[in-house]
């Protein structure tokens, strides 16, 4: 199953890492095998993991690829991840895990926002670009893996100061 959560600050403040950790902890039954929290700048990501594909800690989330400058949390299954990994290897990418999570990171780096058109599966994700601070949220076309957003509006600042995310199911 797994579960992902996070907070994106739009007001220049740092996210509440303890709150993100608490949100992830609530999802412990969904991901009893491991938990992780990552934070940089205005973004914090949390994850609960049920080990299915890559049973090692190399598949742990949040997953950070320092070489590519990307971080991700997600929930789902990419059915064609092995084929995508072979294709990406042919384009010079090297993999440190056997997880579909890492395939998502490399695919995003290679194809940009259009990477989702290469995915066959069900998914909801949050990808963070280290250098630009850009956060990309997405889900599968049918919404099999939903992506919930909660925006807290600041009285003196619009459109909002905080966006919290969660994916379950």
Residues marked active site are found at 2
Of 11, 57, 55, 47, give the one whose Cα is nearest residue 161: 11
d(CA 97, CA 113): 23
Query: CB-based burial of residue 74 (10 Å sphere; 0-12 exposed, 13-18 middle, 19+ buried)?
Result: buried
d(CA 97, CA 59): 6
The answer to whether the bond into 62 is cis (omega within 30° of 0) is yes
Of 126, 120, 121, give the one whose Cα is nearest residue 138: 126
What per-residue string of b and e applies to 148-169 under the rule 16 or more CB within 10 Å gives b? eeeeeeeeeeeeebbbbbbbbe
């Amino acid at each position: 199953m797994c579960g992902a959560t996070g907070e994106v600050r739009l007001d220049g403040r740092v996210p509440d890492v303890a709150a993100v950790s608490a949100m992830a902890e609530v999802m412990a039954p969904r991901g009893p095998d491991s938990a992780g929290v990552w934070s940089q700048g205005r973004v914090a990501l949390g994850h609960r993991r049920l080990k299915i594909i890559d049973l090692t800690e190399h598949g742990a989330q949040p997953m950070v690829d320092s070489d590519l400058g990307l971080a991700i949390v997600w929930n789902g299954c990419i059915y064609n991840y092995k084929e995508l990994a072979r294709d990406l290897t042919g384009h010079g990418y090297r993999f440190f895990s056997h997880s579909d999570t890492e395939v998502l990171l490399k695919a995003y780096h290679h194809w940009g926002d259009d990477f989702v058109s290469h995915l066959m599966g069900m998914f909801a994700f949050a990808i963070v670009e280290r250098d630009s601070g850009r956060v990309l949220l997405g889900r599968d076309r049918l919404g099999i893996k939903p992506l919930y957003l909660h925006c807290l509006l600041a009285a003196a600042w619009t459109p909002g100061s905080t966006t919290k995310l969660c994916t379950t199911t």
